[in-house]
Structures are given as C-alpha cells and as structure tokens.
Structure 1
Amino acid sequence: MTNTDEIASAPLVTIVLTAYNNERFIEETISSVFKQSYAQIQLIVIDNSSLDSTASVIQNLKEHLPDFIFIKNQVNIGLCKAFNQGLSLAKGKYMIDLSGDDIMLPDRVKKQVAAFEALEKDYGVVFSNAINIDVNGRFLSFHYEVNDVGRAVQLIPGGDVYKNILEKYFICTPTMMMRTSVLLEMGGYDETLSFEDFDFWVRSAVKFKYFYFDEVLMNKRNLPGSLGKKVYQKGSRMLASYYVVCRKAYDLNRDQEEFDLLAARIRTFIRKCFYAQEFELALQFRELLNYIENPGLVTELIVLLCRMRLPVNVIYRFYIENLHKFRNSRKVLAFNSVK
C-alpha cells in the first residue's frame, strides 16, 4: 500500500474548536491542528460571538489556510450548543472538543487514533496526560505527575470508570478523543448546562469504557477567568448545572456503591453552594441527598448556615485564589529544580 493509500484509508477525525475572546491564543491553537502528524482531519472553528478580535484573526487565518469550516455566531449561544453546531457537521469517526486557548502536541491525533483502532467498540473515549500552562505559555504543572520517563506515577482509571467519575474529577477534558457515534447516541452535549464535561462523563461512562493513553499530548492553558474557576462565583450557574447532572446520575446508578459515591459528591456540592452563597440550591442538593441517605449532622449544620444566608463568598474566593497561586508557584519551583 502506498503512503497516499494509507492516508486515504485512515479514519477521519473531526476537531470542533470553540472560541470566545481568545484573540491572544487562537492563532497558536489553530496552528497546532495544522501541525499534526496525522493528515485525515476535519476542522470546524466556531467563534461564539467574541467581543474582541478573535473572529478577525480566524478569518485572516482562513484566507491563508482555507481548509477548515468557520462559523461566526452573532450571539453567544453557550459552549454546549456551539459544540453541537460542530457535531451536526462532523464527518469524522472520532471527535475532539478543542478550546480556543489550548495547544495540541504534534502527534496527539495520530497516537490517539492508533489507540482507538486497537480497542474494542465498547470504548467511547481515549484520554491522556497534559501540561497545565499559564497565560504566557509557561509551565504550571502536569495534570498527572510523571516520573523521569514521562509516565504517570499514579494508576489512572480505565475501562469502566463510572464509579471513578462519580467519586472525583480526574480526566483532563481537553485531552479526550471521543467516538462520534457515542456523541450522536447521546444527542450531543446537554445545551441546558453551563459546561459539558461532568455531564458527558456521567452519561457516556455508564455505557462505554474509557482508555488512558499514558503520554502528555496537550498543553492546557489555565486562565484567570476560565469556566472552571467560576464555580464559587455567585450566580454563575455552574453549581446549578452540577445539580442537574447529579439528578441524572441518580437515575443512572446501578448499585449501592454508586449511590454512596454520589452521596459523597453531593455533600461536596452542598459545601460549595454555601461558599458561593447559592443557598436555595444547597437545599435542593440536600433534598436529593436525603433520597439516598440521612444527610447527617455536619451536612445539616452547613444547610442551617445556608438558611442563615451568611455572606461568606468574597472571603472564600479570596482564600481560594491565593491558595491556587501558592500551589502553582510551588509546582513551578519544583519543576525548575529538576530541569
């Protein structure tokens, strides 16, 4: 078989890149797609009504690199709905959801496709390790700490990861390659939610297996105003979306261990509701928890504090922001000391 034949027979991968106010990073992100060592890629770029010059940068790139689809939304329709726009146009066997500020390493697509093609069809997701970088592209940390040959030092869950997903956040979302048929079976992302990952994990992992590819394949940019940092921001609707997903998990759970794990996760969200001053939402979480088990003294105390509507949000956000800065500075010092 000739090299041309091999390329033509390789499965197509659709990358949906959603951007919002990423003028500083979008060119590097798109360039990382075109620098992939894998040729069979369909790129769909969606500007979600950016307020800066992101759309102009994309349009300029398209004039020089025309081989991608560009959709410019006139209003911001939200991350999940924007991704579903791309999903409706996807022709690939596999899909990647790419943010407008992250960077794919050159062999990412090739290595994940090879992993997928060697797996059984009940595997819906391949994910990997990543490096967290700051706004200037400087190293912050590894998503999973690595040894001297770049392999994760901890055991990363694989196969049936549903229980692991209920227990805690452990997957680096931007590293995921998803089987397109899985997304279509699920009806895409839930457009009523503020974010996609926890809901996708819950709904897909209950039916499909996950595979961890033990290499760093992404640079994930951590920005001060990123979605993940808004969970403690009052009125962000992040915690409301978590409540919806917990309700779904309640209906999907298969055994008592899964209900126990969900109960522990709900307790965590009740505490976060208190810190975010989402007091009414805390009561809804408490009601859901009560369907599973007795909330207990500590949780009931937190709920009581929610009923008192204590103004703790500003103080707690100040504490969290400075704690993150301290932890990141320690990780950078540790990384530089071994270089």
Structure 2
Amino acid sequence: MNPLVSVIIPSYNHARYIERAIDSVLAQTYAPIELIVVDDGSRDDSAALIGSLARRHGFRAVLNPVNRGQGHVVNQALDLCRGEFVCFLPSDDWYLPDKTRLQVARFAECDAQTGVVYGRGARFFETDGRTETVHMPLHRGEVLRELVAWGNFVYPVTPLFRRECFERVRFDESYRAEGEAIYLKLALHYRFDYVEDLVAVMRDHPANTGKDVALMYRENLRYWEAFFALPGLPDAVRRLRARAPGAAAPPQGTGADPAARRARGRTPRADRGAEAAPAPAARSAPRRRTGPEPAAGRLGRPAAP
C-alpha cells in the first residue's frame, strides 16, 4: 500500500488563485493524498470559496478568523496532518500531475536519513503569460555546505518532506515568512535528494512577498545571524559565514525581485515553456552563486502586514 502524503496549502487573500492550486493537488496521479487548506484570516472571498470547495471535494479546510502569519499556519497544519510525507503548496502556485508519484518513488530508493526530495520548477509570469523553466543546480546527499556557500538551490514549491522532519524542526513563527530558510535547519539533520523532472510552477505577480525587498533583506540578515549562532554548527560550515548570501547588503533597489536579480545578472537560467525538457542533472553543481531565492521568504506567502 502506498504511503499517505499530506499536502498543506496555506492561504491568504488568494481567492483568485486558490482553486487552481487545489485542483492541481486533486489531479495528482498518486494516491492516497490528504489535502489540508488553511486560510489565515483572508480579507477577500477566500474563506467562502475554500469552504465551498472543501464540501465539494472532501478535503479538510481550516478557516482562521484572524491572521496569525505564515509560520503559525504551517505549524498548525503540521499538527493536523497524518501523512508519512508532507509538502507545502502556496495558494497562488500549482503542482504538475506526476509530482507526488515521482517523489515518493525516489524516496523509496533512499535510506531513512534522506528527509527531502525536491525537483525542477517553472515560473509563470502573470503580467505577460510567459512560463519559464528555471534551471538551478541540483545537489544530493549532505547539502548544508552548498546551501550556505551557494544559497538556496531548492526550487521553493517543489520539495516533498518526510513528516518526521517537522517533529525535529519547526517553523519559526517570529518571522513574517521563514520560507526556504527551513532547508538550512533540515540540512543539519537530513540528507537531500531530487528528481530531474519538472514538478511545479510558481506564479510571479505584483503581490509576491519576495518582492518586498526591505522585508526580505531584514529577515535574511536576522536568519543568518541566528543560524551561525547555533550551538554545534560544524566548524567547516561556520567558516563559510563570509560567503553566505545574506552576508552583504544587496544593491539599492534589488534583492528578492527576480526582475531585479536578472538586471544584475544573478538570476538562475530560465527557458521559455514549462513543457520544456529538464536540463541534465549534475551531482556536483557549480559553486558560483547566481542568485537563488532568498533564504527567508517564499514558502507560504503572502502573510498579512
């Protein structure tokens, strides 16, 4: 019997997007899947729509009356889910149909110390309808050094996690959007692996939290300070502090916005078309930092101010 996979969709003011996210989970070629959608006190019609979709499709909907923030919502859903594996889908993004099947199959080939399996992803640009496949380096095994020296190379919407990872590591609710910084915590305890396939699409639109450059920069600096203050951090990793992506201030007017990163030549390579064939995988990726998503900020955005 296949292991149960829990999919968590954190939602805030995404009534115009949430149905596509939900439909992409319902369309997975894998079963069984447990879907949990948590609305975090949205001010638009999200709660009513989610409630209606939950009654129609039979998934679990949690409608918080007030906004508590991304970290609280994700931890709340983790306390409810029952799957052996879990993944997080922002409410404005979507999965491709074979994502869960491919990643569970890869987990079956890994040992118990592998806690994360990610994949390739694409970005849909709402302003002009373009879809670009984003090519970032792929690393497997013990990846903490790569995450520190290179920055986040795990395409944000793609990972599948062992549920036990979050019995050991939780999201820090003091951040507006801890996002991919969680990978650093997990890499202290677990190995990572990947599938070479394109498995998910992120939506680029004006309200992306990652475009709040000042917020992302403040939270990045704070997160790196906390990370390098962790007791027991390996000396080889601690020596990489000067090379960490948050160690230097970004140029004015740049930061988390992909358009700004592209302007200064630090965006991962992207090709038009989500249907494009994935680039060949590489066990040993270039060490050059080409501008991944910031360590803090993308998982379940946006949260309320």
Using structure 1 for the length normalisation, give the TM-score: 0.72
Q: CA deviation at 1:269?
A: 4.1
1:193 paired with 2:171, answer: no
Q: CA deviation at 1:199?
A: 3.1
Instruction: Name the CA distance, whole Å, in 1 between partners of 2:166 and 2:128.
Output: 31
Q: Aligned AA for 2:109? A: A
The structure that is helix-richer by fraction is 1
The answer for the alignment partner of 2:290 in structure 1 is none
The answer for the alignment partner of 1:162 in structure 2 is 144
4+ runs deviating over 6 angstroms: 325-328
1:125 paired with 2:121, answer: no
Flag structure 1 segments of 5+ consecutive residues without an equivalent: 1-8, 146-153, 276-312
The answer for the alignment partner of 2:3 in structure 1 is 11
Give 2:249's match in structure 1, choosing from 271, 274, 278.
271
Instruction: Name the CA distance, whole Å, in 1 between partners of 2:259 and 2:180.
Output: 26
Identify the structure with bigger relative contact order (alpha carbons < 8 Å, sequence gap 6+): 2
The answer for the alignment partner of 2:207 in structure 1 is 225
- 1:125 aligned counterpart, secondary structure: strand
Determine what percentage of the aligned residue pairs are the same residue. 24
Post-superposition CA distance 1:94-128 (Å, at most 9, x none): 00011101111111111111111221000010000
Instruction: Name the CA distance, whole Å, in 1 between partners of 2:167 and 2:112.
Output: 15
The answer for the alignment partner of 2:223 in structure 1 is 244
Q: 1:223 to 1:271 in 2, by over 3 A?
A: same
- 1:271 aligned counterpart, secondary structure: coil
Give 2:61's match in structure 1, choosing from 57, 65, 70.
70
Q: CA deviation at 1:206?
A: 1.2
The answer for the alignment partner of 1:254 in structure 2 is 234
Instruction: Name the CA distance, whole Å, in 2 between partners of 1:206 and 1:113.
Output: 22
1:88 paired with 2:79, answer: yes
Instruction: Name the CA distance, whole Å, in 2 between partners of 1:179 and 1:321.
Output: 30
Q: CA deviation at 1:135?
A: 2.3
Q: CA deviation at 1:172?
A: 0.9
The answer for the alignment partner of 1:297 in structure 2 is none
Q: 1:62 to 1:123 in 2, by over 3 A?
A: same
The structure that is strand-richer by fraction is 2
Bigger Rg, which one: 1
Instruction: Name the CA distance, whole Å, in 2 between partners of 1:117 and 1:246.
Output: 36
Query: Considering only aligned residues, what root-mean-square deviation do their CA atoms show, in Å?
Result: 2.8
Flag structure 2 segments of 5+ consecutive residues without an equivalent: 278-305
The answer for the alignment partner of 2:28 in structure 1 is 36
Post-superposition CA distance 1:77-100 (Å, at most 9, x none): 111110111100110000001110
Instruction: Name the CA distance, whole Å, in 1 between partners of 2:258 and 2:184.
Output: 28
Instruction: Name the CA distance, whole Å, in 2 between partners of 1:238 and 1:184.
Output: 29
- 1:143 aligned counterpart, secondary structure: strand
Instruction: Name the CA distance, whole Å, in 1 between partners of 2:71 and 2:7.
Output: 15
Q: 1:237 to 1:127 in 2, by over 3 A?
A: closer
Q: 1:61 to 1:198 in 2, by over 3 A?
A: closer
Instruction: Name the CA distance, whole Å, in 1 between partners of 2:63 and 2:70.
Output: 13
Instruction: Name the CA distance, whole Å, in 2 between partners of 1:198 and 1:109.
Output: 20
Q: Aligned AA for 1:52? A: D
Instruction: Name the CA distance, whole Å, in 1 between partners of 2:175 and 2:242.
Output: 21
- 1:23 aligned counterpart, secondary structure: coil
Q: Aligned AA for 1:239? A: R
Q: Aligned AA for 1:181? A: E
